Structure 1
Amino acid sequence: MSAWSLKLSILALVVLSTQNTAAAGEKDYSITGFGTLGISHSDTRQADIVRDLSQDSGVGYTRQTDAGIDSNLGLQINRSFSDNFDAAIQVVSRKSADNFAPTVTWAYASYSPDDKFQLRAGRLGFDVYMLADSRNIGYSYTWVRPPIDFFGRLIVSYFDGADTVLSHPLGNGHLKAKFFYGLAREKIYLGSANKHYSLNHSALSGGHLEYQQKNWTIRAGYSELKLADDYSQFDPIVAELTSPSITASVPASLGIADQLTTHGKKLKYTSIGAVLDHGSLQAQLMLGRIESDSVLLQNSDAAYLTMSYRIKKWTPYATVSASRQQGADKQITTDPALSPRLKNTISGINKQLTPNGQQTFTAGIRYDLGDNANIKVQFDHIRSQKHFLVRNPQEGWDGHANLLSVAYNFVF
């Protein structure tokens, strides 16, 4: 946890836990929590399957049976100061770039004068997709984990800033518009020992429109992440390409160096989704596109379709999901005047930018133990192209993996 996050959490906990002596007999705060104990087994030792890009290892190569990729524990404190003003803080421990170090994922104050307007400021969840800001709360959804091919590509789960929601009746339903702006704070694992990419101070902005009518919810959104940092492992070659000795003889080297940077480049998220909640039957269809200004980050499309049917305490479900590169291959250009050593280095980087993708078929069942706990059993058949959304792939791996997962989820 960063020093800033630690200070924020201490301040928020003090504020939220302070009792209002004028209303001593009135309960104006609540403490809730959630957690997941998950165990997964892979039929291959040739690669680690991970939940998302923040994890440096998963199930398969590192451990054929693993309890880390889905297990977590969260605690949330809510405090109401008046009918219009409240605040909350949430701390979560889960496997990420900082392993299981507790992280402040929510810490905000909220003002809402009526049911048509809400303004929040502080640390907020990044709900770029439906369910994205609650994907750590395993009890709240049907699967053991949200579809990896779709949600696993997200590199931001929270930001420091503000958002506002405007609501208004429309026809037989309700229309909501949300806008937000802030700075990302997380880091992601780059696939090799002790190498992470920091998102600190990367600007995040966007919004979405959501319409709810009877059993349907439809949402479309757009967001941008402006990266504030470069890949540190490319610093030496960028420095060489921009040195006076190289630029004097190879003017194109400045343009080549720019392709190896990410500072100031944008990731653009576009999404549309629909949810049907019709009694026992539930269905979701989500489509998402990520476009990048950087040659180092491939454009990709992703989608999933899931259906479930509740039969008393049992809810069987099935999901099909996929993610794949969109458009032409991105490659770093070179110049004949560059030295063979530099051209070989760039060629090696280009080999890592090959088209990739992943498809998953999921089947499982959820059993509700009561109002605050459930158990899920899930089977995933995964086909990964060019080692997408995996860690530690071994030479000769065919990209296929089968996962069997069991998870106990609870809230309190």
Structure 2
Amino acid sequence: MKNKLIFTLPLLVTPLTSLAAISITDNLSVSGFGSTSITRSDNSVPIFVHREITDDTCYDCDTTFGLQADLAMTDEFHASVQLVKRPQDTWSDPELEWAYLSYEYDDLTFKGGRLRIPLFLVSEYYYVGQAYTWARPPQEVYDSILGFTYFDGVSATWRHDLSDEAVLSLTPYYGFERDNKTELGDSKLTFDTEHMAGISAEVSGFNYRVHFGYMNTKYSIKPSTNEEILNIYTLGGEYSLDDWQFMAEVQADSIQTNWYVSGAYRMDKFTPYLVYGESHHRRKSNSVTAGLRYDLTYSISLNAEWQGVYMSQSDYDAFNTGQYVTPPRIAGEDKDTNIYTLMLNFVF
């Protein structure tokens, strides 16, 4: 029963860190999470946004460490802060991933502050590697917005029981103007974002979850002042049947379409899994992932994973980047790559 509960936790949308939280007082708790890996590819061109794995063995490409504090000020008012050293951060410069106040009234929850963008199935626990089966969330979908994960603004969530076993959640949100910065290899990009506005809708039960996301944003890439409008749509679902777990997501906007499907089978402490993904238009590639997760304890796991990332010859010759940071054609490198990873995840 304990193993089955571990397997279905993401389906219940329960923050995994809360189950290992340390109670400081009756209304204040602190929790943490982390991931680290040994990984390398057989290609010298860096691959994956913010991880930039190459054929040099890397011990910190995936290193993540986070601390979260949750305070229940009253039955209705709560506060939460999460500080994360992400893969792209140095230890001396972590990122404030969320910091918000919330108020609950009947079936409504209002939040204000720094919030997670609710576009994807694992958005809420994206940096908590212990909460999902793979070593990394599929890059085709989760790298599609260049690693941006939060906004500064407000949201409201309405929850409604559709039946004894199904719950509907609707979350409109609005993010205020801010500069969003990211790095792609040697390039540093600053997006002057006028707003981020959208809605997420989710139907969940004991062994399934269906998620829809929409976001509209207006932005310019500095130093240019030319404004662009982007509408992003996502649809994903996960389903657990006995020891099987299936997940699939698609992300689409005016410049790209990306998707993946995933299957996993739990055998006591071992969970083998397969993932297939594709990217089209802006990034053109497909990938196959095979891995094995081993749960040492309830709060510690290991992943051994192989991933092959492929590109067609015509896209390679056209200098497409695929999942690489820069086009491999420029470096005269091969269009395909194999990535090998041994990863440790934990929560406390």
TM-score, normalised via structure 2 length? 0.84
- In the other structure, the counterpart of 2:302 is 375
Aligned residues of 1:159 and 1:185 also touching (Cα < 8 A): no
Q: Distance in 2 between matches of 1:214 and 1:102?
A: 35
1:190, CA displacement in angstroms? 4.5
1:173 matched to 2:172: no
Distance in 1 (CA, whole Å) between partners of 2:137 and 2:40 is 17
Structure 1 position 136, deviation (Å): 1.1
Gapped runs of 5+ residues in structure 2? Answer: 1-23
More helix by share: 1
Aligned-partner SS, 1:397? coil
Residue 318 of structure 1 is matched in structure 2 by 274
Of 199, 211, 231 in structure 2, the residue corresponding to residue 268 of structure 1 is 231
Paired position in structure 1 for 2:324? 390
In structure 2, what is the equivalent of residue 189 of structure 1?
Answer: 183
Q: Provide the rounded CA distance (Å) in 2 between the counterparts of 1:402 and 1:262.
A: 39
2:46 maps to 1:48: yes
Output the CA distance in 2 between the equivalents of 1:35 and 1:200.
31
Structure with higher strand content: 2
Distance (Å, rounded) in 2 between the aligned partners of 1:381 and 1:112: 45
The letter for the 2-side match of 1:111 is: Y
Q: Report the secondary structure of 1:119's partner residue.
A: strand
Q: Choose from 208, 212, 218 the match for 1:216.
A: 208
* Larger gyration radius, structure 1 or structure 2: 1
**What is the DSSP-based 3-state SS (H/G/I as helix, E as strand, rest coil) of the residue aligned with 2:130?**
helix
Q: Could you tell me whether the CA contact under 8 Å between 1:38 and 1:71 is conserved in 2?
A: yes
Q: Secondary structure of the residue that 2:331 maps to in structure 1?
A: coil
Residues 397 and 262 (structure 1 numbering): CA distance in 2 closer, same or farther, change over 3 Å?
farther
Counterparts of 1:13-412 in structure 2, within 5 Å, are 27-45=26-44, 47-50=45-48, 52=49, 55=50, 58-60=52-54, 64-96=56-88, 99-100=90-91, 101-114=93-106, 116-155=107-146, 156-171=148-163, 172-183=165-176, 184-191=178-185, 193=186, 195-227=187-219, 229-232=220-223, 262-263=226-227, 265-291=228-254, 299-325=255-281, 356-384=283-311, 385=315, 386-392=320-326, 393=328, 394-412=330-348
Equivalent pair of 1:58/1:68 in contact (CA under 8 Å): no
TM-score by length of 1: 0.72
Q: Aligned in 2, Cα 1:282/1:223: closer, same or farther, shift over 3 Å? A: same
Contact 2:64–2:84 (8 Å) recurs in 1: yes
Unmatched tracts of structure 1, length 5 or more: 1-24, 236-260, 292-298, 326-354
Instruction: Quickly say closer, same or farther: Cα 1:401–1:163, change in 2 above 3 A.
Output: same
Using the TM superposition, give the Cα deviation of residue 199 of structure 1 relative to its aligned residue in structure 2, in angstroms: 2.8
Distance 1:275 1:220, change over 3 A: same
- Measured in 1, the distance between the counterparts of 2:222 and 2:324 equals 20
- Give the number of aligned pairs: 312
Is the partner of 1:303 in helix, strand or coil? strand
Instruction: Answer 1 or 2: higher relative contact order, Cα 8 Å, separation at least 6.
Output: 2
Quick one: distance in 1 between partners of 2:76 and 2:27?
13
User: Which amino acid counterpart does residue 26 of structure 2 have in structure 1?
Assistant: K
